[in-house]
Amino acid sequence: MKDRLKRTIKNTIAILCLGIFLYILYDFHIRIPCAFKTLTHLNCPSCGVSRMCVSISHGDIKSAFYYNQVLVFLTPLIALYYIFYQIRYIRTGQRKISKLENNTMILIIVILIIYGIVRNLPFYPYRLP
């Protein structure tokens, strides 16, 4: 159990360090372009996430919602999913996901696909530049 806890802490720290690194890049006006948008000139479901995260870190929920309407609501759900997955792994060593977790991920993916389609419709009010 101790090894699983150490591994989980290392992985979580690595994810947080990546987020901090991307935040610092954003502060220096270094942007990582979206490959999907570069190739298709359409907004993918995660376009605007960097700006959304920066807005949330500044407490500006209104701007965060403008940049990515769906992920503002899905981020807490995804974070809880990650936390419960890691707690189960630490306790039992089991990485196999349950049927409920699988269905939750499928639902999140379906929501993101639908959002990716809707946000590129011409009448969508929150079009990113």
Tokens of 62: 């209104």
What integer pLDDT is reported at residue 123 of this predicted model? Answer: 81
Band of pLDDT at residue 17, cut at 50, 70 and 90: very high
Percent of the chain with pLDDT over 70: 98
Residue spans per domain, the chain: 2-118
55 burial (CB, 10 Å; 0-12 / 13-18 / 19+) is: buried
CB-CB contact of 43 with 67 (8 Å): no
| pTM metric for this prediction | 0.77
Band of pLDDT at residue 112, cut at 50, 70 and 90: very high
